[in-house]
Amino acid sequence: MKKLLFILTFTSFAFVLNAQVKVADNFFKDYAYIQATELYLEVLKKGDTTAHILTRIGDCYYNNSNVKSASLWYKKAVNKYDDINPEYIYKYIQTLRSLNQYTEAKKWTEIFKERKKNDKRLKEEDVFDIEKFEALESTDRVYVNYKNLELNTEYSDFGSFEKDGLLYFASTRAKENTELDEKKLYQWNKEPFLNIYQANVKIEELEKIISDTDLINSNSINSDFHEASVTITNDGKTIYFTRDNLRKGKKVNYDKGGTSNLRIYRAKLNDGTWSDLEDLPFNGDDFSNGSPALSPDNKTLYFVSDREGGIGQTDLYKVKIKNDGTFGSPQNLGDEINTEGRENFPYVAKDSTLYFSSDAHLNLGLLDIFESNILKNDTLDVYIKNLGAPYNSGYDDFAYFVDSDTNTGYFSSNREGGKGGDDIYSFGKYECKQIITGITRNKLSNDPLPKVVVKLMDEKGKVLEIQTSDKNGFYEFKDVPCDSKFIVLAEKVIYRPDQREINTSQVNGEETQLDLFLSPLIIDSEIVINPIFFDYNKSNIRPDAAYELENIVVVMREHPNMIIRIEAHTDSRGRDAYNMKLSDRRAKSTRDYLFSRGIATKRIESAIGYGESQLLNNCTNRVKCSEAEHQKNRRSKFIITKGYSK
C-alpha cells in the first residue's frame, strides 16, 4: 500500500511539475519573461534541471539583455548536456564575447564548429545562389546618399584619401596650362599619366563639398609617369604612394618582359612641402607593389603585389614598420582574403576593419568592394562581406575610404553614368530611423491609461527598449530602425496586456501611431479573466487554466488585503446533482491552485460550485441551445468581498 501511495504521490507531483512548466512556457511564448523566470526557477528548485529548464532561464535573461545572468545559465546547460542543441552553444559564445571572455569563447567556438560544421555564421561559403546576387544588387535597408563628385573629369579620377581637410586622389587630367603631347600620353588608354592631386573638402549634412583642386604640394612626388594611391600617417608628416619604376626618377625601368612594374615610395613633409623621397626596400624590379594603406596605429603597411609565391594574380600583403622607420619582411594575408584572382586597393578603417577590392569571392562582376574583420586581434570568426549596392555594381568598384567619425567616405567606379574612365563618388551613411507613438488606453472605457509599461521588442521577442506612458497615456519610441518587424507589448498590473506587431517602412523620419488597449482584470467587484476550461468529467487544473489563473494571483498580490469567493457554474446538460458535485470539485481545485501559488487560505472566503442552478440564459434541460449559449453558463467567478475599493 505504501509503495502504491508513493507511486500515486510521485505521479501527482510529476503531473503538477509538468503543468507548471507548461504554464511557464506559455508566459515565455507571450514574452512575459519575468513571470516565466519565476516559474522556471520554482520548477528548478523542485528538482527539474533538464536542458529545457536551464536554457529557457538563459533565454529569459538573454532576451531581456541581461547577458551576465544568461551566460551563467547557458554555461550550466552546455556543460551538463553533451547533446544540447548547438544553438545554445552559439548563444553562450555570444554572451562570452559580450563579457570579453574571448579565450572561453574561442574554446566553445571550436566545439560549435565540430557539432555544426556548415554553420555560415562562422564560415561564410561562396555559393552560387541567385537570391544572394539579387540581395547584393538591392538597396533595400541600405541608407546611403552618394554622388559623383564635381571634381571628376572626362579622364580617370580615382583613389581617394582624406586628411586634415584635404582630399588626395589620382587623375589622368592634363596639368593646368599644359597642352597634351601625344608622345607623353600613356599608350594603354591614350590619356595623360596619373598624377596626385589634392582639394579642399568640408562636410555639410553628410555631403562632401570640394573646392580648390590642384596638384599635390610637392616638386618631387609627381613625375612624367604614373603616381597614385596615397596614404598618410596620423601625424600628417609621412606620405606613402604608388609610382612607376623609374630609373633615377626620370625614365621608366622595364623588366625582362617589357613591363614597367610599380613601386611604393615614401616622402616627408618639410615646411609644408613633400620631399625626401624614398624608394621602399621591399620593392623589386620583377614585380609590382602598390596601393599602400596604413593600420590605425601606423605600425603596419598593407599593399598589393604580384610577387612570386602569391596565391593569385595579385594578393594583399602586410609589412611591419619598425620604430626606426625600417621595415620587416612582407607577409601574405592568406587564403581567407586572397584568391586565384585579383585582390587590390586595401584600406584599414579606424576600428581595424579591412576593406579591399576583388574580382573573386561572392561578386557582382569585375572588381567589387569587400569588408573583413580579419585584422582584428579578438576575431574568432573571420568574415568577408560584399558591400553590395550602391557601392558595388557590375563594373569595377574599388578604392574605398570611410571616416567612421563622420560616416562619410569615397569609392571609385567606372560604372555607367560617370563622367570619365574612372570617377570618384562620395557617400554619406545615415541611419534610417522612425518614431512609434501612441496612447495606452482602458479597453472598456477607451480612456487614456497612465503608467503603462510599454516594451519594444524585435520579432524574436528580445526587449530593445522600455517606456512608461505618461499621465495622459502617451508613450514614444524614437530612433526605431526602418524596414523592420517589431512587437510592442503594453503591461500594467491588474490589467490584461495588449500586444501588437508592427512593420516599419523604408521612409526615414516616418511616425507611426499605435494605440494599445488593456483590459481591466477588476470590473465592478469581480476579477474577470477568460474562461478556464476543464477536461470532460474532470476537475484538475489544466495548464491553459493555470495560465489564466495567474491573473488572479497577480491581482491578489497587488492587493494584499483582498478577499474573494470563488463560484463555479456548469451548463444544464447532464444530471443536476452530478453537475452540482462536479462544479464544486472544480471550484475547490481552483482554490487549491491559488493556495499553491502562495495565496493565504484566509483570503479565499469560499469556493462553491452551483452546478446549473444559476443559468444566465434560457438554456435549461429541455431547451435546445447552441454551444456558444451553453458556454456562457460554464463559468468561474471570482467575486471580491473585502479589501478593495476603486
Strands of 526-527's sheet in order across: 522-523, 526-527, 635-642, 563-569, 604-609
CA distances from 31 to 24, 66, 244, 317, 457 (A): 11, 15, 64, 50, 9
Give the position of cell 531581456.
64
Q: Per-residue pLDDT tens for 200-220?
A: 999 998 899 999 989 988 878
Q: Which residues of the chain register pLDDT less than 70?
A: 1-16, 65, 97-98, 100, 102, 119-131, 133, 175-191, 246-260, 365, 378-380
Task: Answer whether the bond into residue 390 is a cis peptide, omega within 30°.
Answer: yes
- Collapse the DSSP code of 386 into the 3-class scheme (helix H, G, I; strand E, B; otherwise coil) and give the result: strand
Residues near 193 by beta carbon (within 8 Å), at least 6 away in sequence? 172, 184, 185, 186, 223, 224, 225, 226, 244
Beta bridge partners of 568: 609, 636
Half-sphere exposure of residue 489: CA atoms within 13 angstroms, side-chain side: 20
Domains identified in the chain and CATH numbers = 2-115 (1.25.40.10), 144-429 (2.120.10), 433-519 (2.60.40.1120), 523-642 (3.30.1330.60)
Q: What is the predicted pLDDT for the residue at 502?
A: 96
CB 401 within 8 A of CB 409: yes
Q: Per-residue pLDDT tens for 386-413?
A: 999 999 987 789 999 999 899 999 999 9
Q: What is the predicted pLDDT for the residue at 83?
A: 92
CB 343 within 8 A of CB 332: no
pTM of the full structure = 0.63
Q: Per-residue pLDDT tens for 219-268?
A: 788 887 788 999 999 999 999 999 887 655 555 565 555 566 899 999 99
